[in-house]
Structure 1
């Protein structure tokens, strides 16, 4: 064995061991327990696919899936619209555009929990006071305490923090566009809207695909934002699938049952991601 190969093994083998120990093994263990009645402690027995069948009959689980899909779809659409608009604005040669890029990226490097607690303080104390002062009824009440509107607060937090990463990718895409194409569009008399649909959007389609898939995946796995803002409340109105799995498995003695829910959840995310890739890649410029 050469010295180069020996060095390679020294670097790779520890990484493989760590990955297997903290990722692969727990995954295999969770799938195994999903076919049992294990509560997280004590003895257990094999029960086959009973846990999987019970998930589809569990009203709380179905409600969590419904909320998660609603939150993920709305947040994915909004974050891509907002980040694309910001990227187009920052890509223009305006004053301090490099400084603005750094400022817009700051939310992404902040802790989700810390930002969540700040937003909760704003929704709970600041906005109601502003609403009372300006006599605006909508702002006068805390939306996080409203079962119908609490999810809106979570969407606002998620979009505000996630837009930074999406904006960065869109800026990378915009930088690959040849400026001569815009000059040719000007000669042809194309307006700003036509330039966007005929030149800009088709050429950044691969970046749009990446942003849509990554954003949807991240929002489907929402956990920290919900813990910080509502804790899944009021009641169970904003309980996501991740939060349900965590509470049921580690606080409710449903380790095996929620392991089955996690496997279903994983399959759903993979299927949605593949579907997005297949559909969106057809729109990309070859």
Structure 2
């Protein structure tokens, strides 16, 4: 009886192993096609771009290896340096404004107000719209409507997009307006994880208002702050559509971002190899900034 009873266990173990192997095989068959597609459309082009950054390839014709000449020349190019300074400045300003405004709106929406879900939907609408279309709409607004409405204000009397000192402001406004939509959803998700009991207990000790926000809310949503800040910096360092639609990098080169410069020089200016080196530098900067942010913000989550 003992041996007879033991056999089903062996058979059951064999069936479990077979099912596990089948599940693993199914997993790999589902994952590999996407890994291959990712490699074809992302990894291979990226590696090809890095390779050509060590050549003098113009995007057509013959080419030869030039070593690190492109990278060395980048650091002596005033136009490149200006585009990096503008992009970093723009990214910092837009990131700060996006997170401050988004957190304030999320706190208001998380409160017990009427039609809370309706307002969540309204605030998320900008995120599903094309940034290029949004940019052209705002370009008409800033160039036509604003001068007519605010004709008594010297700064706004003329088209602000043609002012080399202030043309960055409309770009920041449009960028923050759309970026807040996603950031608000992230902050709302974080706020909903905080138990109400904590606020009730804190109120008994006199911790209300800003003190409760500083001592309870902010520490408990630092993980969500990290997500938003890292994503914002990454996205804003690659700003392209809004700049093309609003100013096309002008007036002059006042609002030219790194990605716009890479596009114009690499695809229409015969600088494919040179701008490939520029793109590689941008990739390293974004990666370094992401690691620095994570290293600084992760301990605060603990």
Partner of 1:69: 88
Give the drift of 1:137.
2.4
- CA distance in 1 between counterparts of 2:133 and 2:55 reads 38
Partner of 1:153: 170
Larger radius of gyration: 2
- CA distance in 2 between counterparts of 1:31 and 1:62 reads 20
Q: CA offsets, 1:29-49, max 9 Å, x none?
A: 101000000000011111100
Partner of 1:137: 154
Q: CA-atom RMSD, angstroms?
A: 1.3
Partner of 2:11: none
- Paired positions, count: 283
- CA distance in 2 between counterparts of 1:9 and 1:183 reads 49
Length-normalised TM-score, structure 2 = 0.91
Alpha carbons of structure 1 residues 53 and 169: separation in structure 2 relative to 1, 3 Å: same
Partner of 1:228: 245
Partner of 1:94: 113
- CA distance in 2 between counterparts of 1:147 and 1:101 reads 36
Give the drift of 1:136.
2.4
1:85 aligns with 2:104: yes
Q: CA offsets, 1:135-160, max 9 Å, x none?
A: 22232121111000000110000000
Partner of 1:191: 208
1:251-262 equivalence runs, <5 A: 251-262=268-279
- CA distance in 2 between counterparts of 1:191 and 1:25 reads 54
Give the drift of 1:185.
1.5
Alpha carbons of structure 1 residues 9 and 93: separation in structure 2 relative to 1, 3 Å: same
Unaligned runs of 5+ in 1: none
- CA distance in 1 between counterparts of 2:184 and 2:279 reads 31
Partner of 1:243: 260
Alpha carbons of structure 1 residues 46 and 109: separation in structure 2 relative to 1, 3 Å: same
Classify the secondary structure of the residue corresponding to 1:257: helix
Partner of 1:276: 293
- CA distance in 1 between counterparts of 2:126 and 2:91 reads 19
Give the drift of 1:11.
2.6
Classify the secondary structure of the residue corresponding to 1:268: helix
Length-normalised TM-score, structure 1 = 0.96
Decide which of 223, 228, 231 is 1:206's aligned counterpart. 223
Give the drift of 1:20.
1.3
Classify the secondary structure of the residue corresponding to 1:42: coil
Alpha carbons of structure 1 residues 209 and 6: separation in structure 2 relative to 1, 3 Å: closer
Unaligned runs of 5+ in 2: 1-17
Decide which of 116, 127, 134 is 1:115's aligned counterpart. 134
- CA distance in 1 between counterparts of 2:224 and 2:28 reads 35
Structure 1 stretches of 4+ moved >3 Å: 1-10
Classify the secondary structure of the residue corresponding to 1:282: helix
- CA distance in 2 between counterparts of 1:6 and 1:179 reads 45
Partner of 2:145: 126
Give the drift of 1:18.
1.4
Classify the secondary structure of the residue corresponding to 1:283: helix
Partner of 1:29: 48
